[in-house]
Amino acid sequence: MYLDIDKLGVRNSYKLLTNLVVPRPIALVTSADAHGHLNAAPFSFFNLIGADPPLVVLGVGNDASGLPKHTARNIAETRQFVVNLVTEELSAAMNICAIDFPDRFSELAAAGLHTAASVRISVPRIAEARVSLECELVQSQRIGQNNVIIGQVLALHTADGVVDERHNVHDFAPIGRMGAPSWYCRSTDHFEIHRMTFAQWQAQQQANTNP
């Protein structure tokens, strides 16, 4: 089946793409306006997009009035945000943070979440998150109704036991967003595929043809 995005229209292409490009990690973003009013909201148009420097991207839409959502406005004002990664214990609170609360309403209090100080930036992280990334705005661009925000990761916070002294990760299973609006998946089912060099691949091909 061939589907032309222009003919599908925004509603159908959103529905299809958010059900097809899955699973998506979820950033529960804390941000603050210039007066320090804190905000928290989840975003699944989110990913890690570079390593040197480490970069994350958020795709933040506009609210019903056509203005960028609070998160995008706050990041434009203060150039700082924290990505708190969402594990299953945080999922109910994350869903509360997605409510279209009015300006200056504390999502964190409504969701029963607490803050902990960041180190490199003034926006706090969520104390209950097992992993948080302190980020600084590098670039943002409005493309249609999207506010594309690229941030540089300045620091990481991880709960005890998540990272060992060799920088291996343990006991961390963030949830992923599946079909919008309300399907999720767990990331507890892992399997491994070893990457090969060209020489290893050639050797394998030879072994397969001359067993």
Binding residues vs ligand FMN (CB under 6 A): 26, 39, 41-45, 59-61, 63, 69-71, 95, 98, 100, 177
Provide the minimum distance between the beta carbon of 36 and ligand FMN in the complex, in angstroms, as a whole number: 15
CB of 131 to ligand FMN, least distance (A): 17
Shortest CB 34 distance to ligand FMN, Å: 15
Cα–Cα distance for residue pair 129/153, rounded to 1 Å: 16
Q: Which is nearer to ligand FMN, 39 or 132 (CB)?
A: 39
CB of 188 to ligand FMN, least distance (A): 18
Please, is 192 exposed, middle or buried when counting C-beta atoms within 10 Å of its C-beta (0-12, 13-18, 19+)? exposed
Q: Nearer Cβ to ligand FMN, position 95 or 158? A: 95
- Whichever of 45 and 128 has its CB closer to ligand FMN, that residue is 45
Q: How far is the CB of 42 from ligand FMN (least distance, A)?
A: 4
- Contact present, 135 and 120 (Cβ < 8 Å): no
Answer whether 30's CB lies under 8 Å from 124's CB: yes
Which CB, 92 or 196, lies closer to ligand FMN? Answer: 92
How far is it, in rounded angstroms, from Cα 22 to Cα 58? 16
CB 33 within 8 A of CB 77: yes
d(CA 46, CA 49): 9
Residue that the structure tokens 């991880």 belong to: 158
Q: Which residue, 88 or 163, has its beta carbon nearer to ligand FMN?
A: 88
